[in-house]
Structure 1
Amino acid sequence: MGIKSFQGARRQQQKVTEQLPCRVCDYMSRDLITFRTDQKVIEVVEILIKHKISGGPVLNEKNELVGIISEGDCLKQISESRYYNMPMEDDTVEQRMVKNVDTLDGNMNVFDAANVFLESKHRRFPILENGKLVGQISQKDILVAALEMKGHNWNSTTKNSNC
């Protein structure tokens, strides 16, 4: 009398051959609202509210990244103008923007980028290519990537590809 297995046939595990996009450049926003150094802060506030964004990159006349302006920078200006009884209309983006801007590499894995977000407390990072602004990645973009990757191998990356 032979031993019978009641386990049944095992299904072969399928290998995931599809390379899932998980680089920053696959999820970054490319159509950005940008600001100029000579714009008035009050105009920036109106744009932020109208477009429901929390900030954006500041470009010079050569379209080079020179800073970031955020809701917090605008709030600071509003608070100080009220405290010192100064007109709000006088401040420009250049006076209020953050000039030392951290950027991310577009080829970085989005999950490595998530760690950078956690360590830095930034809400957004500009992406430069050859010194020019090509996009911006936000915390929300990372969340979108995580949802799309749900159930897949989170380590699958395509290295050294152009964005």
Structure 2
Amino acid sequence: MGIKSFQGARRHQSDAADTPLLKVSDYMSTNLITFTPNQAIESVMESLIKYRISGGPVVNDKNELVGIISEGDCIKQISESRYYNMPMQDKTIEKYMAVNVETIDGNMNIFDAANKFLNAKRRRFPIVENGKLVGQISQKDVLKAAMQLKGQNWK
């Protein structure tokens, strides 16, 4: 009795040239809600709630990225103000924002960006060109890119 192979026909392996290069800049958000370092923390919290976002970039008057503020940063401020029994009015976000902000290159492949999200455990990365904030990529943007490619070979 002969040996039968149950391996089906293999699909032709496509070249990388067949798969479109998906760049971060093709999926990043450019219409961003930004904040300023001297903005009141209560104003930032109102924006986070109103726009249903978990944080955003902080820029100076030249649109240069100087930090990121998140819900967690705001919650820290709430906790401290209660602990020290100090009102939050007139408190700015400058003291509470993250200043060592990791950015991502707009020309990076979207799948490399996905790995960067996994390794850095971040929800968003700002994109800076020539010192200016030009966009932001979120985990949700990476998911959208993957769904658009569904059924194609991923490279």
- In the superposition, the TM-score normalised over structure 1's length comes to 0.83
| Counterpart position of 2:90 | 90
| Counterpart position of 2:45 | 45
> Could you tell me whether the CA contact under 8 Å between 2:19 and 2:154 is conserved in 1?
no
User: Offset at 1:52?
Assistant: 0.3
User: Offset at 1:118?
Assistant: 0.7
User: Offset at 1:89?
Assistant: 1.2
| Percent identity over paired residues | 65
User: Offset at 1:63?
Assistant: 1.1
Write out aligned runs for 1:1-163 (5 A). Answer: 20-155=20-155
Distance 1:153 1:104 in 2: 24
User: Offset at 1:90?
Assistant: 2.8
Structure with bigger gyration radius:
1
Letter in 2 for 1:57: P
User: Offset at 1:95?
Assistant: 1.2
Letter in 2 for 1:90: D
| Counterpart position of 1:6 | none
> Could you tell me whether the CA contact under 8 Å between 2:21 and 2:109 is conserved in 1?
no
Distance 2:137 2:88 in 1: 30
Distance 2:91 2:33 in 1: 20
Distance 2:18 2:135 in 1: 26
User: Offset at 1:20?
Assistant: 2.9
List gaps (5 residues or longer) in structure 1: 1-9, 156-163
Q: Deviations over 1:100-150 (max 9, x none)?
A: 000000010111111111111111000011111110000110111111111
Distance 1:55 1:145 in 2: 22
SS state at 2:89 partner? helix
Distance 2:153 2:14 in 1: 10
The aligned length equals 145
> Could you tell me whether the CA contact under 8 Å between 2:40 and 2:92 is conserved in 1?
yes
> Could you tell me whether the CA contact under 8 Å between 2:103 and 2:125 is conserved in 1?
yes
Distance 2:66 2:13 in 1: 48
- In the superposition, the TM-score normalised over structure 2's length comes to 0.87
